[in-house]
Amino acid sequence: MVLFAACVGLVAFAPVGQTSNQQPAAVASPAEKTVEQTKKNIKVLSGLPDSQLIPVMNFMSASLGVRCIYCHVNTEEKWDFVSDEKPEKNKAREMIKMVLAINKDTFRGNTEVSCYTCHHGRTSPSNVPALPIPEVTPRPAAAETKPGETKPAVPTADQILAKYTEALGGSAAIDKLKTRSMKGDWVTSSGLTWGYEVYQSGPDKIHVVLNTPKQGVFERGFNGSVGWEKSIHGLRALEGQELAVLRRYPDLFKDIKLKEQFSRLTFGGKDKIGDREVYVLRGMTTDNRRERLYFDTQTGLLVRRVTSSPTMIGLIPEQIDFEDYRNVDGLMVPFTLRISSVDPNISSTRKFTEIKLNVPIDETKFNKPPAPSTP
């Protein structure tokens, strides 16, 4: 139960109350406010959980290949997101209404059409095929099985997961896992390198230190109930989206104990990542996100995890690549994580130089520090 709670806590975006004929309607957690309650000038996104607003804005930006400034006003380095001054913002409202209507009327409420469906990273979608059209190559005939020959057996999801547990070091080593401390670099999507430290005590206590040359040290923590941030700007509570992002990664068991996070998990074929052959598992998490898991067919290790979080205007994707696995006290641990997101602030590469498992961590590290006394 504790583990399940931790996994739910990792969700960046609570699923929207969108109905679909394939999945039960998910409801935003009752505690969460919607954007028309928290923001000033919402005309079409009513009902969107507050924690999804920025992900949705990033999704629209990525779909059109633009930045916030394309629709929002920024004067003297200050954003005015409330303003309707830019015509593009109102155009986007019309487009949001259109997308909601298409999906409701034509796709039975499933979010099949999103901004990306037409825009493909451009502001003006093309409505004619590009000429010259590429030569159409005939599909290779499916390799026929000759009589007497059997098709190669495909593994089941359970077999792939069992092989993964073994590849990591076995369930005994996994069950022993209590704490993890990691040190290394956080390389941003624009190429800056920050010092990065993570302390975790399982499953859901976390303390992260980010050492930036320009803005000083950022510390963020969660002790199982209270989230906080300490920086040169002071000490504050972390709530909503920010708390969700902190807790989403890295949870101690999130990429280790996979099975219990899914309500459905099936074999999805073979694929290739670089020159490695991988098995793909497709799943639906207990909190209604679609995921794909990619396992190296040789080593059995998890090499990629792609999550799609449903929102009212589309599925927001996020990808994590796990690289440079090394043995730490009997458990295989990836020393490099590449995180790709529609949010440039989340996209980053985390390269660890030191990872320690099961060393005692001072539990007070996770608590919100006392407020600095005012002089």
Query: Residues 316, 307: contact at Cβ < 8 Å?
Result: no
Nearest residue to 192 via CA among 370, 347, 305: 347
Does position 121 bind ligand HEC by CB under 6 A? no
Does position 259 bind ligand HEC by CB under 6 A? no
Nearest residue to 293 via CA among 284, 111, 41: 284
Does position 267 bind ligand HEC by CB under 6 A? no
CA distances from 224 to 202, 239, 261, 279, 358 (A): 10, 13, 19, 35, 19
- Identify residues 306-345 at the interface with ligand HEC (CB under 6 A): 313
Phi, psi of 89 (to 5 degrees): -65, -45
Q: Residues in the chain, how many? A: 375
- Identify residues 93-112 at the interface with ligand HEC (CB under 6 A): 93, 95-96, 99
- Binding ligand HEC (rule: CB under 6 A), the pick from 7, 14, 72, 184 is 72
Contacts of 286 (CB under 8 A, 6+ apart): 4, 7, 8, 260, 261, 262, 263
Q: How far is the CB of 315 from ligand HEC (least distance, A)?
A: 13
C-beta closer to ligand HEC: residue 91 or 326: 91
Run of H or E including 244:
helix 240-248
C-beta closer to ligand HEC: residue 115 or 332: 115
**HSE value, Cβ hemisphere, 13 Å, CA-based, for 59:** 22
Cα 115 versus chain centre, distance: 19
Q: How far is the CB of 254 from ligand HEC (least distance, A)?
A: 26
Q: How far is the CB of 297 from ligand HEC (least distance, A)?
A: 37
- Binding ligand HEC (rule: CB under 6 A), the pick from 89, 176, 292, 351 is 89
* Cα–Cα distance for residue pair 154/298, rounded to 1 Å: 14
- 3-class DSSP state for residue 206? strand
C-beta closer to ligand HEC: residue 68 or 301: 68
Q: How far is the CB of 293 from ligand HEC (least distance, A)?
A: 28
C-beta closer to ligand HEC: residue 268 or 344: 344
Phi, psi of 38 (to 5 degrees): -105, -20
* Cα–Cα distance for residue pair 295/44, rounded to 1 Å: 41
C-beta closer to ligand HEC: residue 64 or 337: 64
C-beta closer to ligand HEC: residue 121 or 330: 121
Contact window for ligand HEC (CB under 6 A) among 37-45, 253-261, 264-272, 333-341: 37-45
Does position 235 bind ligand HEC by CB under 6 A? no
Query: Residues 20, 253: contact at Cβ < 8 Å?
Result: no
- Binding ligand HEC (rule: CB under 6 A), the pick from 20, 81, 162, 367 is 81
User: Which residues are at the interface with ligand HEC (CB under 6 A)?
Assistant: 39-45, 54, 57-58, 60-61, 64, 66, 68, 70-72, 81-82, 88-89, 91-93, 95-96, 99, 113, 115, 117-119, 123-125, 313
